[in-house]
Structure 1
Amino acid sequence: MVAAIFHSPIEAAAAPVPPAAAPAPAKSAPVESAPAPTPAPRRPPRDWRGLWMAVLPPIFGLALLVLVWQGIASTTGSGIPKPAETWAQAVKVFSDPFYSNGPNDQGIGWNILSSLKRVGIGFGLAALVGIPAGFAIGRSVFLSRMFNPLISLLRPVSPLAWLPIGLLVFKGANPAAIWTIFICSIWPMIINTAVGVQRVPQDYLNVARVLNLSEWKVFTKILFPAVLPYLLTGVRLAVGTAWLVIVAAEMLTGGVGIGFWVWDEWNNLNVSSIIIAIFVIGGVGLLLEAALIRLASLFTYEEVKA
């Protein structure tokens, strides 16, 4: 027999329902921690050693000069004024550097400006002639062999030996002094420019010849950039020589100028003013040299040394 078991619907409803499986808890997103603040970059320590090396040596050098000067003035009977006396005279001289009491009695400021004017005119004329002549001599073998003996013959002549020629030709002291500046300034520019042109690599000129470049293109694109360091060296040498010569030329020609001022103070036996003039001449020359070094550093990639 087959027995069938029937369940009542009431019992089925009363039967406990198994609990549904609880959902798994959702994973929470990882909390990102805030980035640690980056420390401010530490300022590198100041290089005091470089500062001291730049400042102290010149101060020590000037102090040594003053000590030697003081010793010579104190121990010898040469009549050289002491540094304190010269300083007092310098304060008096520079208290009114631009006074004018006539053509032969003017302040030191006017004398410096007059000398700089003569140097500027003579140097400018020398640059207008010397730099193109240097390029021409450097480019042409014929011109180089033609002018090299003349330059070797005339360059060693003292610039003051040309002063009587200037007085004879120009019949005046001022143009004669300018002529002397011109003739002593032209040689460094001619020689340095010509040497710079001759040292241009031949490969550069061969490329220019292959490209059939004009002479103007060769000059502006190849020669001038390559020769510029040599040219600026010649300019610096010429300016230094010109400022050196103008003092001696003005002593002989007279008029207004730092050289004439030195000679006039010597005639007045004012040695303190002569020493002041020596420092002024050296200071102006130092400023001219620094200005040309700055100019050279703007136009060339090479390191320019004093």
Structure 2
Amino acid sequence: MNAEVKKLHSAAQAVAKAQVKPPVLAGLLKNTRRFVLQQCLPPVVIGALLLLVWQLVCSGKGAALPPPTQVITDTWELIVDPFYDNGGNDKGMAWQLLASLSRVAYGYALAVVVGISLGVLVGQSTWAMRGLDPLFQILRTVPPLAWLPLSLAGFKDSYPSAIFVIFITAIWPIIINTSVGVRNIPEDYRNVAKVLRLNGAEYFSKIMLPAAAPYIFSGLRIGVGLSWLAIIAAEMLIGGVGIGFFIWDAWNASRISDIILALAYVGVVGFCLDRLVAMVGRLVTRGTSQS
């Protein structure tokens, strides 16, 4: 009797799976098709049209820039072997990008720590805001490369000078957005903290950071984009291994195709950095009122 019951139960489960599986698969296929049509297809079509226009415009005699087919032909070795290392500055594109990313990582990390700390101070203290905010507003208008000669004079070395340029470029949007986020914390949150008698550390971790996180990550996204822009320009001047100096060296050698390839890599890496910070921001701010 038990065996028959088990068989009937197994048959019922098989029927249920057979009835559920097609709708699930249909829904999955529908969502995949929608994602491809709405998210993937438009940039692919627009990119293909731009490449076609570029090919047509630059294929004629006397064109100042090479067409995309010539760029691929001229830079094929750089594309297929990005990790070659012939010593000195003669390195593949991967090493050039990694060198630039390492400088950005150090400078940006310092900017995050110092920027959030100063932003919290300015947001919490009216006296600090009145004293520091005018100074921040003046310094943030100084172009990043204007700091490079001063940093070279102070550090006597190109590597820390580039890190300082990244730091001083990225810190201002982080400070400003953090201070705005802290000042905009709802008064109800502050009252709850008083009722619960939270100490400074508990208020900072449980009230302030979650409430101000959307503003903080807006500043972090702006900061990482500015950091990547600044390091490319700084490396053109300081030399050494890095994608910025690679572009400048290619210009001096009239390797226009190499420059175009490097710019494509720069754009892709910058896009990935922005999306990475945005993804972390969505994870951290999930469930907050501002998000």
TM-score range, shorter chain: 0.7 to 0.9
User: Residue 21 of structure 1 corresponds to which residue in structure 2?
Assistant: none
User: Residue 167 of structure 1 corresponds to which residue in structure 2?
Assistant: 152
The AA in structure 2 aligned to 1:251 is M
The AA in structure 2 aligned to 1:225 is P
The AA in structure 1 aligned to 2:150 is I
Taking the TM superposition and a 5 Å limit, the aligned residue runs for 1:198-277 are 198-277=183-262
Distance 1:230 1:40 in 2: 47
User: Residue 122 of structure 1 corresponds to which residue in structure 2?
Assistant: 107
* Superimposed CA distance per residue, residues 46-103 of structure 1 (whole angstroms, 9 cap, x where no aligned partner): 3234431222101111112202211331347343111111112332112222222222
Taking the TM superposition and a 5 Å limit, the aligned residue runs for 1:22-41 are 40-41=19-20
User: Residue 74 of structure 1 corresponds to which residue in structure 2?
Assistant: 59
Q: From the superposition, tell whether residues 144 and 175 of structure 1 become closer, same or farther in structure 2 (CA, over 3 Å).
A: same
Partner of 1:40, secondary structure, is helix
The structure with more helix, counted as a fraction of residues: 2
1:137 aligns with 2:137: no
Fraction of identical pairs, as percent: 44
Question: Normalising by structure 1, what TM-score?
Answer: 0.82
User: Residue 175 of structure 2 corresponds to which residue in structure 1?
Assistant: 190
Q: From the superposition, tell whether residues 233 and 95 of structure 1 become closer, same or farther in structure 2 (CA, over 3 Å).
A: same
User: Residue 9 of structure 2 corresponds to which residue in structure 1?
Assistant: none
Higher radius of gyration, 1 or 2: 1
Distance 2:148 2:287 in 1: 38
Q: From the superposition, tell whether residues 235 and 76 of structure 1 become closer, same or farther in structure 2 (CA, over 3 Å).
A: farther
1:110 aligns with 2:95: yes
Q: 1:98 aligns with which of 80, 83, 91?
A: 83
* Superimposed CA distance per residue, residues 150-197 of structure 1 (whole angstroms, 9 cap, x where no aligned partner): 111111111011111111111111111111001001001111111100
The alpha-carbon deviation at position 229 of structure 1 amounts to 1.3
The AA in structure 1 aligned to 2:115 is G
1:155 aligns with 2:140: yes
Distance 1:105 1:66 in 2: 29
Uncovered stretches (5+) of structure 1, i.e. residues with no partner = 1-34
Distance 1:71 1:140 in 2: 60
The AA in structure 2 aligned to 1:40 is Q
User: Residue 5 of structure 2 corresponds to which residue in structure 1?
Assistant: none
Uncovered stretches (5+) of structure 2, i.e. residues with no partner = 1-11
Give the CA RMSD over aligned residues. 1.9
Distance 2:34 2:107 in 1: 44
Distance 1:195 1:94 in 2: 44
The alpha-carbon deviation at position 294 of structure 1 amounts to 1.8
Question: Normalising by structure 2, what TM-score?
Answer: 0.87
User: Residue 281 of structure 1 corresponds to which residue in structure 2?
Assistant: 266
Distance 1:114 1:50 in 2: 35
Distance 1:76 1:244 in 2: 34
Distance 1:249 1:270 in 2: 20
The alpha-carbon deviation at position 243 of structure 1 amounts to 0.5
1:64 aligns with 2:34: no
Distance 1:302 1:86 in 2: 47
Partner of 1:102, secondary structure, is coil
Partner of 2:19, secondary structure, is coil
The AA in structure 2 aligned to 1:231 is I
Distance 1:264 1:142 in 2: 49
Q: How many residues are aligned here?
A: 268
The AA in structure 2 aligned to 1:262 is I
The alpha-carbon deviation at position 302 of structure 1 amounts to 6.1
